[in-house]
Amino acid sequence: MTNERVYIAGHTGMVGAALLRKLILTGIPQKNILTRTREQLDLLSQQEVLRFLFEERPNQVYIAAAKVGGIQANNTKPAEFIYQNLVIQINLIHASFIAGVKKLIFLGSSCIYPRQSRQPISEEQLLSGQLEPTNEPYAIAKIAGIKLCESYNRQYGATHGIDYRSLMPTNLYGPGDTYDLESSHVIPALIRRFHEAKVQKIENVTLWGTGTARREFLYVEDLAEACVFVMNLDSNSYKSQTEPMRSHLNVGWGDDLTIAQLADLIADAVGYKGKINFDSKNPDGTPRKLLQTNRLQELGWKPKVQLKDGLKRTYVDYLESVSQ
């Protein structure tokens, strides 16, 4: 494994940066880990991506590059979310095949599943119902990424020896997250809201929704570990938990909590002592998203970082980001 040449697409993002740290810890020399910033390589350009992968010839590719955001960002910029994610995926997966990349991990999202999925959500529920309207364009792009990997495996797996795998993580958080209130997800947004309220001595904070929606959260370092684990699984083991047209695996913690409970935990981590209110005029999003993760766990992987500990680490990261 230490002789592999590995390309991480999106290494400056939260997931990509965690992957970079994890790969270095596994013993891969840093010179064998390929990274490019957005200025160095435009993933929206098919020509640039093809040229890069032909020149560098990595053995493994991790696709952690994506346009991501919370409910508000998805609602206000749906065209950007579906277009940019589709193009990034198409360029990277197709160019990887053309350049002879044998192993690839595509990272999706739990929002690929129907809004009214049975809980916990198994991999079989993909394409079994209507998606959550607030992030449907993003979800459709991610579903397309799964089907791209499946289709290349089905058509070229035997003849070209490729093995492109897909992982669907639950809601992620951790160091390197985006704390911008306009585009961030719930945990970084609440960390910033509560921190600013604490500093400004604001006695009440009002949050979107009813607080009753349930969510599952996974620390990003756990996801990075899962990615490396799955990338290096032997083919027979991976196939034992997947099928040619259900080739993705869920990655999650295995338990969930309400947004109100989450808000209390974050307020505690931040040290905010004020009152937390909810505005039911704004949407909750999907009522519940808890992933069934028994397939990945049967292969030998389990998450390690408890939510309470992960929130404390993430708050430290936020404080470092605002002090720079």
Nearest to 279 by CA among 203, 194, 214, 204: 204
Residues of the chain by 3-state class (helix, strand, coil), percent to 5: 50, 15, 35
Surface-to-core class of residue 293, CB atoms within 10 Å of its CB (0-12 exposed, 13-18 middle, 19+ buried): buried
Helix axes 220-231, 14-25, angle to 10 degrees: 60
What does DSSP say about strands 171-173 and 204-208: parallel, antiparallel, or unpaired? unpaired
Catalytic residue numbers read 138
| Alpha helices (H) in 57-118, listed in sequence order | 71-76, 78-98
What does DSSP say about strands 275-279 and 60-63: parallel, antiparallel, or unpaired? unpaired
Q: How far is CA 261 from CA 258, 266, 276, in A?
A: 5, 9, 11
The count of C-alpha atoms lying within 13 angstroms of the C-alpha of 306, restricted to the half-sphere facing its C-beta, is 3
Euclidean distance between CA atoms 50 and 59, whole angstroms: 15
Tokens 């916990």 sit on residue: 120
Euclidean distance between CA atoms 124 and 74, whole angstroms: 25
